[in-house]
Amino acid sequence: MSTTGSGARTTAGTGTGGVSGHDEMDARWVDARPFRAHLRHLMSAGSLDVAEVAVVLGLPTRTVRNLLEGRAGRVPRRISPPTARRLLLVRPDDVQGLRWRLAPADEPRAALGRLRASGWSVDEVASAVGFGLEELAALDRHTHGNRLLAVRLVGLARGLPAALHDEDRDDEDLHVEDLHDESRDDVASAA
């Protein structure tokens, strides 16, 4: 094993041009700067916080927070291709239209239950997510509800201390793939 002038380790006979497996993996990662800017734009366009945009993207909150803020103040220079692809799937108009789309009520209903079980009152939840009490109550009566309410409830519940394992869960009914389906239902059609 030797090092190049730039300090990269090389191994003779690897069949990869002398680059170690670790360096080979790093070469496939992409520059994080444009994706960080896109993420900030999505958050601004949809008035979403870190946990909420993570739900929409189908990424762990920790991944999104790390991309924005880094660790110990150092933001990542590169991100993995799967994370980059997830970010590119969501457009600003997708997050702007969350309020007028429907989502299955199961996930937000469960999130509301976790919030209530951890001591939140219905009034506190309504205030935190920016929706009225009637819209929260409708989750118990309907199979579908407002997608923005769902995203905000699930995002808020991800912040619960007892829900730290939820960081890596895939809230499959609420994120990226659903934003581009052909049936962009609007809330009025549910009435």
* CATH code for position 78: 1.10.260
What pTM value is reported for the model?
Answer: 0.70
Same domain, 115 and 79: no
Same domain, 70 and 128: no
Q: Domain range for residue 175?
A: 98-190
pLDDT digits (tens, 9 = 90+) for 130-178: 999 999 999 999 999 999 999 999 999 999 986 544 444 544 445 544 4
Same domain, 123 and 79: no
C-beta separation of 128 from 156 below 8 A: yes
Confidence of residue 27 (pLDDT cuts 50, 70, 90): low
Same domain, 125 and 178: yes
Number of domains in the chain: 2
Point out the domain boundary residue: 96, 120, 144: 96
What confidence score (pLDDT) does residue 48 get?
Answer: 94
- Rounded to whole angstroms, the Cα distance separating 68 from 74 reads 10
Confidence of residue 189 (pLDDT cuts 50, 70, 90): very low
What confidence score (pLDDT) does residue 162 get?
Answer: 62
